[in-house]
Amino acid sequence: MTAVLTRRPGLSKLRTGRSPLHLICLGLVALVTAAALLAPWLVPYDPNAVDLANALAAPSPEHLLGVDAAGRDTFSRLLLGARTSLLGPLGVVVFSTVAGVAVGMAAGWRGGWLDSVLSRSTELVFAFPGMLLAILIISIHGEGLLAPVVALSIAYLPYVSRLTRSLVLAERERPYVSAYQVQGHSALQICLRHVLPNIAPVVLAQSTINFGYALMDLAGLSFLGLGVPALTPDWGRMVFDGQAAIQHGYPLSAILPCVFIVLTVVAFNVVGERWADRVARRTP
Amino acid sequence: MPDNVLEAVGLHRAYGSVRAVDDVSFTLPEGGSLGIVGESGSGKTTTARIIVGLEQADAGDVLVRGQARGARRRGRAARLARAREVQMVFQDPLLSLDPRASVEQVLRETLSLHFPDADHDRRVRELLDQVGLGTRAADARPRQLSGGQRQRVAIARALAVEPAVLVLDEAVAALDVSVQAQILNLLADIREETRIGYLFITHDLGVVRCVTDDVIVMRRGRVVEAGPTAEVLAAPRHPYTRLLLESVPRPGWDPEAIAAARRAL
């Protein structure tokens, strides 16, 4: 199978041949996910508790990673920020995968005019940069996590639908699909019970890679002050809030979320790519 | 003629300017076995795909028990009725079975589609028994089985539908010679038990000799010779049939003379 996953230029150079990198990335993904899940029980302080007397304090036993310009504990905000920062991309990935698979499968299976209509309209979405589309939708819809998630889902849908379409085109030529047709199974049954499970690993690998990109885009949006409401702890938002502090020589509260964004994106990329490699080797 | 289970009348199918199937007609009597022989590209597989409904004929009719099979129709009942007319066994069982489904799942899925009320446990055992697979094979996936076992599963799956006609498209071509013989014997036994009609698509004259009553020889989409298998193989009338017979390797075989004869034809 020659499924080509879509990766961004800079990140496509990451090779996953060496297994220590893969293991480290897998560990990182697990760690970040665990942190996001367990954050409410782990945080030492209320992430929005303002302690102006301590503003911009350096790391200390009370505040492990210091305090930001508004006097909020950076460690607590990082932990709870993982929730928002991962929940957003998760929404994007779930929606874009479900809708993209549906669109791609319909296009690949039925072909003809339906394929033309669906493929051209998803290509139209490709023409818009995802961020721009998101900014447009947010400016209409207003603040909140939902608008950017929906916008980015639409922006990411073509990646999934195009991949699914090509996989379905290859899969439907395989004799087992003909065999099920001869047996009298309906097209929908064949698609859902047989074609979908057989192409799912590749699609999910693409979705894993998309997760990293969606995280990056959502962090970018919240850095611009779009999307996430002001007080919600979020990595992109934290970078924005910490800008001023960097100029004053207290970089920790802005640099740390940056580091986490980069590491998480890279980790998801490596894990997704590795997964796709293994799946490709398994199929005949 | 009501005693013909399958009848093809004037089938035509063209791909661009290539006439893959050109005025092909034949009949298959109830419980009979008909071979379609020809080399690659002679249109025999296209004919088979038209019979089962994977391809549409440009012209001509396929009749099952005197009823036209017609175009693929929508609706569950019509689809299932079509499936019960003709079933197919494909050349490569590894590719024609879903790699993720176990043998039992494959059979159960077909049974629950066609016979939702039947006793599936009993029927699965019967089918496995009928194709000579033990119940131990039931949990295996296609990849874990041998080529012969896989083809047995594919045959069991086709039989599960209880069709009137079974189309076997090069069904033994991908198997070892000894396994071929086993599968051919199995098919002969099944025909004796169930009175199912066979349509054998093959390039192998040995297979034709073993398991068919009648044979038609196809070349470039046309039927060049038809008749009872024994007669056709013993006294071929068309030069192409003679050429096919001479092409079978045996002592004193002269490939160069055959190549020359092929060019002359």
Q: Which residue has the higher pLDDT, A16 or B34?
A: B34
A192 neighbourhood in chain B, CB within 8 Å: none
B157 neighbourhood in chain A, CB within 8 Å: 179, 183
- The 10s digit of each residue's pLDDT in B207-245 is 888 888 999 999 888 898 898 988 888 888 888 888 888
Instruction: Name the nearest CA neighbour of B206 among B181, B240, B239.
Output: B181
Report chain A's mean pLDDT, rounded to a whole number.
Answer: 83
Instruction: Name the nearest CA neighbour of A215 among A21, A28, A62, A59.
Output: A28
B94 neighbourhood in chain A, CB within 8 Å: 284
A201 touches B: beta carbon within 8 Å? no
Q: Which residue has the higher pLDDT, B6 or A43?
A: B6
Q: List A residues 149-178 in contact with B (Cβ-Cβ < 8 A).
A: 174-176, 178
Strands (E), B41-120: 59-64, 67-68, 86-89
A202 neighbourhood in chain B, CB within 8 Å: none
A186 touches B: beta carbon within 8 Å? yes
How many contacts does A have with B, using Cβ atoms within 8 A?
Answer: 59
A1-10, A82-91, A213-222: range with lowest mean pLDDT: A1-10
Q: Contact A47/A238 with Cβ under 8 angstroms?
A: no
- Report the residue from A179, A184, A197 with minimal CB separation from B96: A179
Q: Which residue has the higher pLDDT, A53 or A123?
A: A123
Instruction: Name the nearest CA neighbour of A98 among A156, A144, A172, A168.
Output: A156
A81-85, B71-75, B106-110, B168-172: range with lowest mean pLDDT: B71-75
Does residue A55 register a pLDDT over 80? no
**CATH superfamily of domain region B4-234:** P-loop containing nucleotide triphosphate hydrolases (3.40.50.300)
Does residue A21 register a pLDDT over 70? yes
Report the alpha-carbon distance of residue A9 to residue A11 in Å, rounded.
6
- Report the residue from B96, B101, B113 with minimal CB separation from A184: B113
A182 neighbourhood in chain B, CB within 8 Å: 52-54, 83, 86-88
Tell me the β-bridge partners of B218: B223
- How much is the average pLDDT of B120-149? 87
Domains and CATH numbers, chain A: 71-282 (1.10.3720.10)
The pTM score is 0.80
- Report the residue from B90, B99, B113 with minimal CB separation from A179: B90
Instruction: Name the nearest CA neighbour of A267 among A14, A60, A58, A78.
Output: A14
CA distance A180 to chain B (A): 9
A182 to B97: CB separation less than 8 angstroms, yes or no: no
pLDDT band at B73 (very low <50, low <70, confident <90, very high): low
Q: For chain A, how far is it from start to end, CA to CA, in angstroms?
A: 7
A176 neighbourhood in chain B, CB within 8 Å: 95-99
* Residue of chain B whose Cα is closest to the Cα of A175: B96
- The 10s digit of each residue's pLDDT in A118-171 is 999 988 888 888 888 888 888 888 777 888 888 889 989 999 999 999 999 998
Say which amino acid occupies B125: R
B161 neighbourhood in chain A, CB within 8 Å: 183-184
* Residue extents of the structural domains in chain B: 4-234, 235-265
- How much is the average pLDDT of B89-93? 87
Does residue B1 register a pLDDT over 50? no
* Residue of chain B whose Cα is closest to the Cα of A199: B100
Q: Cα torsion at A226, A231, A234, A238 (round to 10°)?
A: 90
- Report the residue from A176, A186, A193 with minimal CB separation from B96: A176
A233-247, B11-25, B100-114: range with lowest mean pLDDT: A233-247
A182 to B87: CB separation less than 8 angstroms, yes or no: yes
What's the pLDDT at B71? 62
A197 touches B: beta carbon within 8 Å? yes
Task: Please state whether beta strands B165-169 and B59-64 pair in parallel, antiparallel, or not at all (unpaired).
Answer: unpaired
- Report the residue from B99, B100, B110 with minimal CB separation from A183: B110
What percentage of chain A exceeds 70 in pLDDT?
A: 92
- How much is the average pLDDT of B131-139? 84
A179 to B101: CB separation less than 8 angstroms, yes or no: no
* Residue of chain A whose Cα is closest to the Cα of B87: A182
What single-letter DSSP state applies at residue A160? H
- How much is the average pLDDT of A202-227? 87
